[in-house]
Amino acid sequence: MENRLVKIYHGPQHPGITGNMSLELDLLGETIKGARTHVGYLHRGFEKLVERRTIIQAFTIVCRICVPEPDPNEENFARAIETLAGIEISDKAKYIRTMVLEMGRVASLLLWIGGQSGSIGLGTVGQWSLFDRDLILDLFEELTGGRVYHMYIYPGGVRRELPDGFLDKLSELLDYLEDRLPLYDKVFFDNASFKKRAIGVGVVNRDEALKNGYVGQVLRGCGIKRDTRRDNPYLVYEDLDFEIPTFDGCDVYARAMVRRGEIRESLKILRQIVAKMPKDGKIMQKIPKHRKFKIPKNDTFVSTESARGEYSYYMAGDGTEKIRRMQVKGASLIHGFTLLEKLLIDEELSNVAMIMNSLGICPPEIER
Amino acid sequence: MKFSLDIKGSLTPFVAVARVFEEPKTICYPFEKKEIAKGYRGFHTNLLDKCIGCANCQDVCMNDAIDMIPIKEDRNPKNNSGCIPRIDYGRCCWCSLCTDVCPPSSLQLEEDCIWASDDSNNFLYMPKDK
């Protein structure tokens, strides 16, 4: 058999890869008999860069760790600094931050629709979802001054006040997106082609899921209801009414249906935030100037639920104005290595891109 | 392999065809341009009558994108250093920390964001005096 195995490299430049990551595949015909993940193409050294910068300087670069969804990085960084420095932010800042995180979640999930549908040849719905994501980016542009890298969630609060009429524009956008969801159901989620390709493919072992540390839709697609917003609430999630969608099946289809539910729930959360947004309150607490902003000698661990799963930061201060150590634990590391290499064995080559997209693997976040 | 026919799932995607007759969502650049939001972090401007040459912007910039260079004409008597900031747009990440720390708020970011040149020296950008 070994003489008949063909080795190919799927990536790092490949439209079926979710970023720059290489898969070394041993093929017997079209069937994968061996898979190894190779990363390193996107290592930018963020954890070291942050150690050489003051806190305020470091805040501007953490968003670049993850390209599809930068905001959980900003939130984790800000919350870690606030925990170490003993800063309490206002309710208004908490609501604004929650709004930004949920808008980022919807944008990331719309980007996922584009990737997942494109991976199996459904090109049309990806064009739609990227346009709808662009409408969310337009709102981010107005709110933060940037479309993708917002640099908005600041230690102490948020950087800018809500523009006039912003909540009305957000409400209109929510109406539009809610009207679009049935169309996505017809063209993508209920599409016979997608179901035929996705059901029974990329099946995760439910019993190993928790033991191995899988997070996000991988867990919820196995029927396990785990979400940091519920298990370890932060910001204003305790005051909001939302469900954690789960789906039994453990396969690509189950994970897609979980994401479908999450889009619906995020739109519901945003509606509540628009209704409950405090009118008064400081958006930013007074913090020291950048060379004088010192954090005590202590450490903390904070988590946020990103669109891909639990996203955590470990941060340690040493009493100076620089961070002693910042360790990022993304949602994609375990999925991109352990899980992906397992799932690809005895799969068809044509299913590689679909399985990668369903796991929500983000190489920038794996490598920092 | 068991064969099952999903008639609904096979036919409903054809609703996409109705959208063929809709207006396209793309913008025919450069003949049409997208409106840029107020407050977008674009290129720098610097009010030279207010700039005091303190180099706070150079100090806070974490990409070392800002150099203080001598000003040719004396626009502000309070500018003791005689220098004004010049931004290297090959290094700038448009975080706008420099505008946050500017004491007289002379350094700002405007919505202008389109720049193309075949000479890399043109990316050592001298902020326009508004």
Residue B46 inside a domain? The answer is yes
Residues of B with CB under 8 A from a CB of A: 6, 8-10, 12-13, 15-16, 25, 36-41, 59-60, 62, 93-97, 101, 109
Mean pLDDT of chain B: 87
Question: Which pairing describes strands A153-154 and A157-158: parallel, antiparallel, or unpaired?
Answer: antiparallel
Measured CA to CA, the distance from residue A25 to residue A352 in angstroms comes to 10
pLDDT of the residue at B2:
56
Q: Is residue B77 in a domain? A: yes
- Residue B98 domain-assigned (yes or no): yes
Question: Cα–chain-centroid distance for residue A199?
Answer: 24
| Domain range for B118 | 36-125
DSSP state of A299: E
- Is residue B42 assigned to a domain? yes
- What is the residue range of A125's domain? 2-367
Residues of chain A with confidence (pLDDT) below 70: 1-3
How far separated are the first and last CA of chain A, in Å rounded? 39
Average pLDDT over chain A, rounded to an integer: 91
- CATH number of the domain where residue B95 is located: 3.30.70.3270
Locate the chain B residue with the closest alpha carbon to A127: B25
* Residue A192 forms contact with B (CB below 8 Å): yes
- For residue B13, give the nearest of A187, A289, A291 by CB distance: A187
Q: Cα(A143)–Cα(B15) distance, rounded to whole angstroms?
A: 35
Instruction: Quote the number of domains for chain A.
Output: 1
A144-202 pLDDT, tens digit each: 999 999 999 989 999 999 999 999 999 999 999 999 999 999 999 999 989 999 999 99
Domain-located, residue B21: no
pLDDT at A364: 87
Is B39 in Cβ contact with A163 (below 8 Å)? Answer: yes
Residue B56 lies in a domain: yes
Does the predicted model carry a pTM greater than 0.90?
yes
ipTM of predicted complex: 0.88
Residue of A nearest to B94 (CA): A146
Residue B116 lies in a domain: yes
| Number of domains into which chain B is organized | 1
CATH number at A91 reads: 1.10.645.10
Q: Out of A54, A57, A195, whose CB is closest to B6? A: A195
CA distance A10 to A12: 7
Q: With residue A23 as reference, give the H or E element that holds it.
A: strand A22-28
Instruction: Summarize pLDDT for A245-265 with one digit per residue, the tens.
Output: 999 989 999 999 999 999 999
In this model, does residue B4 exceed pLDDT 80?
A: no
What are the pLDDT digits (tens) for B22-56?
888 888 888 988 888 888 999 999 998 889 999 99
B17 within some domain: no
* pLDDT for A24: 92
Closest residue on chain B to A159 (Cα):
B100
Contact residues on chain A for B6, CB-CB shorter than 8 A: 192, 195-196
Helix (H, G, I), strand (E, B) or coil at A134: helix
Residues A324, A316: contact at Cβ < 8 Å?
yes
Count of CB atoms situated within 10 Å of the CB of B94:
21
Residue with tokens 């957000």: A170
Judging contacts by C-beta atoms under 8 Å, the chain B residues touching residue A289 are: 101
